[in-house]
């Protein structure tokens, strides 16, 4: 597969994965409603947290450069190195999964301390079914890193589609077998199993789907007992600093989960506080994942190879190109989500067991998150530049300050804002921290890599911002006029969002074209070529 077709497959896989993930969120939100949302979402967050604390941060960021180095240095192309890594991950996470299931009540109390009675009992039951996911998260991360280092980038982007389809099916089945808005204490064992087994089954299917790809690139996944040269131990301080990075993040997130859960109780809806935060973050992640994750997936191996060859100028140029390309889509997406957030929330979430009020609150939280879309994406790409340089110490230390800022901002906004806006304030605290982190990272990388294309990146971002503002003003007022006449129900909100998006998109493309933004021309040209084919 040539580079162009591979890039298209990555982008298409990411798009389909996120589109089905979007549908998954809609179905789960409709099924759970405002009473079951927090017990399910808190429990479903715990495996991710445990995985990140143990190995997730290391596997997602540190391992790929190490595998690239092993492939470069070892006579077997790094095969034994990768097999040892897989063996360590499977052993560690199997033990963690077993202990997690045994300690599920204590873990739920830690992250869902504001859940009480039947809600806490249901969250604990869900957690016991969800915690085995950590093993499959770890194996999947190793499989993905091996595929990426061997040039197979597309399959890991497509595998999550299977996960989403399984969860969509379980959510739809749950919605079909519950007659009215379900409460935690009223669920049957069978209804619980539909959600619990479906959610974990999706992760299992996603991981198994990567095995054919491993065979296709010539890697033989097997467990080894010769751990004397454990890859994670060999990583030394490099991995240790990333563990610190992840621990810092999770300590901050512990505060956020409890504040978000408490926000639901503060406004008299104890089942829908953290859920508003979670669903809004999923929608916020959609444009980030389609654009920035695609860019990161394509560019991180390239930056790692440039760093291995000590070509820092190439890293700077690759980083600048990634920042420009990501911003071309993310800047107008930011403007759209900020202007139409509550309407989008109504369109997406006001179905099934979720009412319009909670749906619009989720949309307002989405609008707050969207302000940070560009800096968050830039931060993640800059982080990969540090990791390509085999420097995890700097990101870990910067992240301590960034996380502390996030927690302080969240606490201040939580206590300053009225009950309904508390969860929106948590999203704004997230944004403030990543704005500071991105600027800080940029200053350090400029000293390390030089100011390659710095002025071009700034000029591109300014031009995109101007075009986005000029586009979003008529879009916003068109939406206001339509909802004033039609109302705020999901159907009317859909009409308003569709018309406003069409107007804003046309104005943005026109203004950006006259400004001669090269990256937009590249994207439009690529789309036209694909359509002709």
Instruction: Output the CA angle 30-273-206, nearest 5 degrees.
Output: 55
For the chain, the domains span 1-233
Cβ(172)–Cβ(32) below 8 Å:
no
pTM: 0.82
pLDDT digits (tens, 9 = 90+) for 226-238: 765 555 555 567 6
CA gap 475, 36 in Å, rounded? 35
CA separation for the pair 377, 51 (Å, rounded): 22
Task: Return d(Cα 86, Cα 235) in angstroms, integer.
Answer: 15
In a structure prediction context, what are the per-residue pLDDT tens digits for the chain, which is 533 residues long?
A: 444 455 566 667 777 888 898 899 999 999 888 878 889 999 999 998 888 877 666 666 666 667 777 776 777 777 788 888 888 888 888 999 999 999 999 999 988 877 888 889 999 999 999 999 999 998 888 888 888 777 777 788 788 999 999 999 999 999 888 867 788 888 889 999 999 999 999 999 999 999 998 888 888 787 877 765 555 555 567 677 877 888 898 899 999 999 999 998 888 887 788 999 999 998 998 888 777 777 777 787 788 888 877 888 888 888 888 888 888 889 999 999 999 999 999 999 998 888 899 999 999 999 999 999 999 999 988 888 888 888 888 999 999 999 999 999 999 999 999 998 999 999 999 999 999 999 999 899 888 887 767 777 888 888 899 999 999 999 999 999 999 999 999 999 999 999 999 999 999 988 887 887 776 666 655 555 554 55
Euclidean distance between CA atoms 425 and 408, whole angstroms: 12
Q: What is the pLDDT of residue 163?
A: 94
List pLDDT tens digits, range 165-185.
999 999 999 988 886 778 888
Alpha-carbon span 352 to 25, nearest angstrom: 12
Alpha-carbon distance 250 to 44, whole Å?
Answer: 15
Cα(46)–Cα(104) distance, integer angstroms: 9
Alpha helices in 112-188 (DSSP H): 117-130, 133-149, 155-177
DSSP 284-334: HHHHIIIIIIHHHHHHHHHHHHHHHTT-HHHHHHHHHHHHHHHHHHHHHHH
- For residue 12, what are its two tokens? 């298409």
Cβ contact 9:300 at 8 Å? no
């Amino acid at each position: 597969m040539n580079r162009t077709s591979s890039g298209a497959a990555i982008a298409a896989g990411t798009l389909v994965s996120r589109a089905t993930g979007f549908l998954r969120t809609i179905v789960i939100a409709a099924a759970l409603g405002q009473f079951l949302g927090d017990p399910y979402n808190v429990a479903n967050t715990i495996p991710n947290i445990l995985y990140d604390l143990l190995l997730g941060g290391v596997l997602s960021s540190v391992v790929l450069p190490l595998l690239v180095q092993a492939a470069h240095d070892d006579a077997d192309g790094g095969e034994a190195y990768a097999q040892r890594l897989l063996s360590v991950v499977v052993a560690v996470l199997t033990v963690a999964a077993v202990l997690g299931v045994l300690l599920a009540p204590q873990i739920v109390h830690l992250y869902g301390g504001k859940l009480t009675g039947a809600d806490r009992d249901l969250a604990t039951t869900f957690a016991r079914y969800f915690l085995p996911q950590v093993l499959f998260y770890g194996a999947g991360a190793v499989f993905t890193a091996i595929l990426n280092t061997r040039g197979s980038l597309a399959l890991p982007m497509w595998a999550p589609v299977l996960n989403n389809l399984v969860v969509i099916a379980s959510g739809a089945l749950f919605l079909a077998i519950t007659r009215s808005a379900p409460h935690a204490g009223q669920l049957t064992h069978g209804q619980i199993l539909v959600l619990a087994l479906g959610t974990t089954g999706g992760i299992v299917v996603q991981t198994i789907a990567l095995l054919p790809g491993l065979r296709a690139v010539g890697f033989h996944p097997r467990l080894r007992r010769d751990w004397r040269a454990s890859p994670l131990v060999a990583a030394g301080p490099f991995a240790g600093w990333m563990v610190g990075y992840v621990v810092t993040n999770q300590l901050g997130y512990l505060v956020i989960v409890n504040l978000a859960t408490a926000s639901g109780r503060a406004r008299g809806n104890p089942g829908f506080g953290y859920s508003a935060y979670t669903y809004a973050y999923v929608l916020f992640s959609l444009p980030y994942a389609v654009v920035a994750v695609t860019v990161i997936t394509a560019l991180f191996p390239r930056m790692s190879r440039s760093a291995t060859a000590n070509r820092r100028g190439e890293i700077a140029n690759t980083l600048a190109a990634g920042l420009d390309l990501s911003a071309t889509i993310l800047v107008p997406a930011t403007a759209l989500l900020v202007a139409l957030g509550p309407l989008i929330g109504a369109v997406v979430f006001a179905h099934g067991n979720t009412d319009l009020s909670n749906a619009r609150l989720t949309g307002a939280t989405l609008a707050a998150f969207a302000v940070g879309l560009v800096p968050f994406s830039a931060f993640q790409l800059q982080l990969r530049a540090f990791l390509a340089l085999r420097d995890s110490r700097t990101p870990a230390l910067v992240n301590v300050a960034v996380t502390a800022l996030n927690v302080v901002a969240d606490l201040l906004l939580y206590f300053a804002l009225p009950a309904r806006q508390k969860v929106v304030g948590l999203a704004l605290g997230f944004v403030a921290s990543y704005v500071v982190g991105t600027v800080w990272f940029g200053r350090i990388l400029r000293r390390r890599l030089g100011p390659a294309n710095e002025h071009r990146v700034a000029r591109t971002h300014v031009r995109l911002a101007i075009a986005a503002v000029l586009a979003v003003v008529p879009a916003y007022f068109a939406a206001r006029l339509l909802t004033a006449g039609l109302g705020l129900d999901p159907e009317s909100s859909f009409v308003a969002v569709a018309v406003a998006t069409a107007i804003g998109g046309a104005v943005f493309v026109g203004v950006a074209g006259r400004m001669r933004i090269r990256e937009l021309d590249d994207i439009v040209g690529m789309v036209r070529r694909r359509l002709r084919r």
